[in-house]
């Protein structure tokens, strides 16, 4: 008999079926036991007369054959009667996380320490279904716009963003580093494919433990050639984010429903405000960058004034931007850069990059950086590069904001930070 | 005027069009100059009267407006007359690689040293279009079979495969390592989603320089729960590979044509031969693993006897397999493992894994490994895991074999090996 999944039960009422999964818990009444089986797609209630499941630990892996019977009071409206069990694997002990609860009650450190089990909880795993669906939507949106997917090296010879926050690798006896972003390579690849994207890990040796930073995260990167300026990039980013929302709607609707996620509308024109005006709006002055509190205020402003979950802030002061940032053509102290704030949190940074060789030499000199480690990268510009720009979206941040998680670790499978290297 | 791509010219004959790209080369005759423009999709010939492009270096980035005129002798059957150029960026010097040639003549080390430019050549970049299309096809095949995409950490606390070939990372002052594979995490995630895949970088500190090994490559990993044995995995692998071929056919047909790639047929039943029989077929004995020469002979055998580009070898001796390998149920010196050989090269390893906690403790003890560093990983088994197995496909090897490259570095954007860390 072919195994079916728990979410297929409703189309098999009246039939004998085979299920497989984990015995999540059992409730023993005087005459029957209600056992709950969990598989990758949901839960099923099994009515057991006799002692077939007596003594089985939670998370015992079983196959079960039984009759699918309509039962309005059961989860999903169907339960299994007359079950015959086959135990596939017995756990060594009961798990340290109580998976039977509708919501896990354990504290975050406990859940992270026991992630291999905690992630099995339907609400925990739902976040990662949202992540997978978002990535699929991101790719679909960019594929439809003529982008080529690339994979670039993570072991690199020099810093991307700055010399700070770099992890050093012992590379056959000499020092190398983990890429802080695919920035230099995705720019290089604009010379090859014009429009590229990459979904992959990036590494930041963040010295501080915060609720919004990780030492390793998944970055959704795109880079686009032959742009007018950063506004071309912002339009593509808008479409990529809309694609991510579409991806969730198409592929992870039940996970979103389980978590009560209200999917955002992505406006055709996301409201945009330039940096000096943004500071004024929130009543601060003299800043060179936005602090988290500023982002929250701007998020509220966008919601209040435009009914938008998203707001662009453009034209950040050049002083705090990476060396490859293109200055504003008329106000060289500002830049053709932007942040996209989603529900009060910076989701994305992006902008137009420099594209001329001599500009790079000048920018590196101005930043006090030796150009030698960038030789290979600078080849792209030495041999002709079009105006271009791009952006990067932090996947875990996106999902955290979607589900309203307070800590980014809640939406990271196996988070890495200065204190956490396992599981 | 909206820019079009060179491969769209044939539908604009008779119209004024705008193109953009790189001036790949120019040929000056007595009265006209033929300039060749390259964009992300192809080449276009531009007939220039006068000196508009005189003195422009190869790889100058331009926009050009002109009349699309039918010209049977021109590449693509259309050329541009009456062009007006706008220079977007001038290179600093002529590139060190002659992109104008139909095939690059430079030696591999030169091409790798100048990858940012060499990759611009239509034949070079075509390989990476095949790679992107293959990955898209891999994902589509597994998405259709109920798999969930995951991203797991690359900075890890302990070895996956063995203590050898590990890159060490300075992780906030303590030692950590780069993941040799997502093996332990993808197995763990079978406990969550039952069927998972991951496309991401893996890291091997390969001490030897060979034509088929890299220090960093892209691995297409899958892991499947509730299997019968390794043969369930082999069926999914067959479908994944068929999906990769379909992906190339659907998304990169012109790249395949440009490179003269003959796409393989993936038989519904890929021929399979068990390890002892395989040794006999090729007249060797007493081996515990297959050497490259053996793979080539078995590839020829499969082609000759079955007309197949693919052949499975199953049941490798357990002695040379990683500790998590499931033994053959009746012959414990053999294993439920397999290799998939594609055109005489090992493309994939896979198999059934152990799934019981006590089996892991026994296997680690037998391998002389301390179980402590595996504590977090072993949680999955301690708390119940179904029979499962999986496989990993090396993306660069796949493409190398498709295009007939002699060295895997030819199909790697920016290869990493013990001598090469840039570009």
Distance CA B104, CA B125 (A): 12
Residue B175 lies in a domain: yes
B303 with B385, same domain: the answer is yes
pLDDT at B162 over 90: no
Residues of B in contact with A178 (CB under 8 A): 155, 169
A157 with A79, same domain: the answer is no
Residues of B in contact with A357 (CB under 8 A): 91-92
At residue A371, the pLDDT reads: 87
Mean pLDDT, chain B, whole residue set: 95
Smallest Cα distance from A277 to chain B, Å: 32
In whole angstroms, how far apart are CA A409 and each of A109, A306, B171? 10, 31, 18
Residues of A in contact with B148 (CB under 8 A): 40, 128-129, 132
Selecting from A92, A148, A376 the residue whose C-beta is nearest the C-beta of B132 gives: A148
| Buried residues in B155-171 as b, exposed as e (16+ CB within 10 A) | bbbbbbbeeeebbebeb
- Residues contacting residue B323 through CB under 8 Å, at least 6 positions apart: B360, B363, B364, B366, B367, B369
A365 with A310, same domain: the answer is yes
Locate tokens 């034209």: which residue? A315
Paired with A87 in beta bridges are A62
Residue B223 lies in a domain: yes
Going by pLDDT thresholds of 50, 70 and 90, the confidence category of residue B163 is: low
Residue A333 lies in a domain: yes
A26 with A154, same domain: the answer is no
Q: How many CB atoms lie within 10 A of CB A161?
A: 17
Q: Residue A70, SS3?
A: strand
* Cβ contact B352:B230 at 8 Å: yes
The domain containing residue B324 runs over which residues?
117-411
Domain boundary among B89, B105, B127: B89
The mean pLDDT value for B90-100 works out to: 95
At residue A207, the pLDDT reads: 87
- Residues contacting residue A86 through CB under 8 Å, at least 6 positions apart: A62, A63, A64
Distance CA A259, CA A402 (A): 10
Helix (H) or strand (E) segment spanning residue A338: strand A337-342
Strand A148-149 relative to strand A42-49, pairing: unpaired
Distance CA A408, CA A389 (A): 27
Cα-Cα-Cα-Cα torsion B95, B96, B97, B101, nearest 10 degrees, comes to 70
Residue A247 lies in a domain: yes
Smallest Cα distance from B172 to chain A, Å: 6
Contact flag B154-A156 (C-beta cutoff 8 Å)? no
Report the residue of chain B nearest A88, measured CA to CA. B386
Handedness of CA B273, B277, B279, B283 (dihedral sign): negative
B162 with B81, same domain: the answer is no
CA gyration radius, chain B: 26
Cα-Cα-Cα-Cα torsion B178, B183, B184, B189, nearest 10 degrees, comes to 120
Query: Which residues 153-182 in chain A show a CB within 8 A of chain B?
Result: 153-157, 167-172, 174, 176, 178
B198 with B69, same domain: the answer is no
Which of A136-145, B360-369, B378-387 has the lowest average pLDDT?
B360-369
The mean pLDDT value for B29-40 works out to: 95
Paired with B199 in beta bridges are B220
Q: How many CB atoms lie within 10 A of CB B274?
A: 16
Which of A369-378, B255-264, B271-280 has the lowest average pLDDT?
A369-378
Contact flag B92-A383 (C-beta cutoff 8 Å)? yes
Contact flag A117-B189 (C-beta cutoff 8 Å)? no
Query: Which residues 108-137 in chain A show a CB within 8 A of chain B?
Result: 114-117, 119-120, 125, 128-129, 131-132, 135-136
* Cβ contact B77:B10 at 8 Å: yes
pLDDT at B410 over 70: yes
Going by pLDDT thresholds of 50, 70 and 90, the confidence category of residue B370 is: confident
Contact flag B155-A119 (C-beta cutoff 8 Å)? no
Quick one: tokens of A135? 């990535």
Distance CA A169, CA A205 (A): 12
Report the residue of chain A nearest B124, measured CA to CA. A192
Alpha carbon of residue B307 to chain centroid: 24
Selecting from A92, A357, A416 the residue whose C-beta is nearest the C-beta of B382 gives: A92
Distance CA B416, CA B203 (A): 10
Alpha carbon of residue A237 to chain centroid: 15
Contact flag A61-B156 (C-beta cutoff 8 Å)? no
Smallest Cα distance from A229 to chain B, Å: 13
Residue A224 lies in a domain: yes
Domain count, chain B: 2
Cα-Cα-Cα-Cα torsion B237, B241, B246, B249, nearest 10 degrees, comes to 180
Distance CA B153, CA A177 (A): 16
Find out whether the peptide bond into B423 is cis, omega within 30 degrees of 0. yes
Selecting from B91, B168, B218 the residue whose C-beta is nearest the C-beta of A383 gives: B91
Residue B95 lies in a domain: no
Whether A223 and chain B come into contact, CB under 8 Å, resolves to: no
Q: What is the block-wise mean pLDDT of chain A (423 residues), using blocks of 10 residues?
A: 96 98 94 96 95 94 98 92 97 95 95 97 98 98 98 90 84 95 96 98 92 95 98 98 98 97 98 96 92 96 97 96 95 96 97 97 90 89 98 98 97 96 94
B189-219 pLDDT tens trace = 999 999 999 999 999 998 888 998 999 999 9
Burial class of residue A54 (count of CB atoms within 10 Å of its CB; 0-12, 13-18, 19+): exposed
Distance CA A161, CA A179 (A): 9
- Residues contacting residue B283 through CB under 8 Å, at least 6 positions apart: none
Quick one: tokens of B326? 């499931």
Smallest Cα distance from A304 to chain B, Å: 36
pLDDT at B130 over 80: yes
Q: Any idea what the CATH number is for the domain that residue A43 is in?
A: 2.40.50.140
Quick one: tokens of A347? 């989701």
* Cβ contact B10:B76 at 8 Å: yes
Burial class of residue A231 (count of CB atoms within 10 Å of its CB; 0-12, 13-18, 19+): middle
**Alpha helices in A259-324, H assignment, sequence order:** 275-281, 292-306
Smallest Cα distance from A240 to chain B, Å: 17
Query: Which residues 283-302 in chain B show a CB within 8 A of chain A?
Result: none
Q: Any idea what the CATH number is for the domain that residue B189 is in?
A: 3.30.930.10
B72 with B154, same domain: the answer is no
Report the residue of chain B nearest A356, measured CA to CA. B89
Residues of B in contact with A89 (CB under 8 A): 355-356, 384-387
Contact flag B157-A117 (C-beta cutoff 8 Å)? no
Distance CA A364, CA A353 (A): 13
Chain pair A-B, CB pairs under 8 angstroms: 257
Contact flag B380-A116 (C-beta cutoff 8 Å)? yes
A156 with A255, same domain: the answer is yes
Smallest Cα distance from A253 to chain B, Å: 14
For chain B, give percent helix, strand, coil, nearest 5. Answer: 35, 30, 40
Contact flag A117-B380 (C-beta cutoff 8 Å)? yes
Helix (H) or strand (E) segment spanning residue A253: helix A253-258
**ipTM of the assembly?**
0.97
Going by pLDDT thresholds of 50, 70 and 90, the confidence category of residue B296 is: very high
At residue B160, the pLDDT reads: 67
Distance CA B338, CA B326 (A): 11
Cα-Cα-Cα-Cα torsion A290, A346, A157, B176, nearest 10 degrees, comes to 110
At residue A159, the pLDDT reads: 73
Whether A209 and chain B come into contact, CB under 8 Å, resolves to: no
Residue B302 lies in a domain: yes
Domain boundary among A40, A70, A89: A89
Residue B420 lies in a domain: no
Selecting from B157, B192, B422 the residue whose C-beta is nearest the C-beta of A157 gives: B422
In whole angstroms, how far apart are CA B35 and each of A385, B48, B72, B75, B118? 18, 7, 17, 12, 20
B149 with B237, same domain: the answer is yes
At residue A163, the pLDDT reads: 66
Smallest Cα distance from B152 to chain A, Å: 7
Query: Which residues 29-58 in chain A show a CB within 8 A of chain B?
Result: 39-40, 57
A307 with A262, same domain: the answer is yes
A262 with A131, same domain: the answer is yes
A325 with A394, same domain: the answer is yes
At residue A342, the pLDDT reads: 98
In whole angstroms, how far apart are CA A262 and each of A257, A268, A345? 8, 19, 16
Q: How many CB atoms lie within 10 A of CB A228?
A: 11
Residues of B in contact with A193 (CB under 8 A): 40, 125, 128
Whether A382 and chain B come into contact, CB under 8 Å, resolves to: yes
């Amino acid at each position: 008999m072919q195994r079916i999944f728990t979410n297929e039960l409703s189309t098999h009422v009246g039939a004998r079926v085979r299920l497989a999964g984990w015995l999540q818990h059992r409730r023993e009444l005087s005459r029957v036991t209600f056992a709950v089986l969990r598989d990758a797609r949901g839960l099923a209630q099994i009515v057991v007369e006799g002692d077939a499941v007596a003594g089985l630990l939670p998370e015992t892996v079983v196959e079960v054959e039984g009759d699918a019977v309509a039962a309005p009071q059961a989860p999903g409206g169907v339960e299994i009667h007359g079950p015959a069990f086959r135990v596939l694997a017995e756990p060594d002990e009961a798990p340290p996380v109580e998976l039977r609860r509708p919501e896990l009650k354990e504290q975050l450190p406990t859940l992270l320490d026991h992630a291999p089990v905690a992630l099995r909880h339907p609400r925990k795993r739902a976040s990662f279904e949202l992540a997978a669906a978002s990535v699929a939507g991101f790719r679909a949106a960019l594929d439809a716009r003529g982008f080529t997917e690339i994979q670039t090296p993570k072991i690199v010879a020099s810093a991307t963003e700055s010399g700070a926050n770099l992890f050093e690798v012992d590379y056959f006896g000499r020092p190398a580093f983990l890429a802080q972003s695919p920035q230099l390579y995705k720019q290089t690849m604009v010379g090859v494919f014009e429009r590229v994207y990459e979904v992959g890990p990036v590494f930041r040796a963040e010295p501080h433990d915060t609720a919004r930073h990780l030492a390793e995260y998944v970055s959704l990167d795109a880079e686009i050639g032959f742009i007018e300026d950063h506004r071309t990039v912002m339009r593509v980013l808008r479409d990529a984010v809309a694609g991510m929302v579409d991806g969730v709607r198409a592929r992870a609707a039940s996970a979103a429903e389980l978590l009560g996620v209200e999917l955002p509308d992505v406006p055709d024109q996301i409201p945009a405000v330039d940096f000096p005006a943004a500071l004024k709006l929130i009543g601060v002055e003299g800043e060179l960058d936005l602090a988290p509190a500023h982002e929250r205020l701007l998020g509220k402003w966008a919601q209040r004034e435009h009914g938008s979950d998203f707001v662009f802030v453009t034209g950040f002061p050049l002083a705090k931007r990476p060396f490859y940032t293109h200055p504003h053509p008329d106000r060289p102290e500002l830049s053709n850069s932007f942040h996209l704030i989603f529900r009060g949190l910076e989701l994305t940074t992006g902008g137009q990059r420099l594209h001329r060789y001599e500009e790079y030499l000048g920018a590196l000199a101005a930043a006090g950086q030796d150009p030698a480690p960038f030789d290979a990268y600078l080849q792209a510009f030495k041999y002709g590069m079009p105006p271009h720009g791009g952006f990067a979206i932090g996947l875990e941040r996106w999902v955290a904001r979607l589900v309203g998680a307070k800590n980014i670790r809640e939406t990271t499978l196996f988070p890495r930070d200065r204190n956490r290297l396992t599981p």
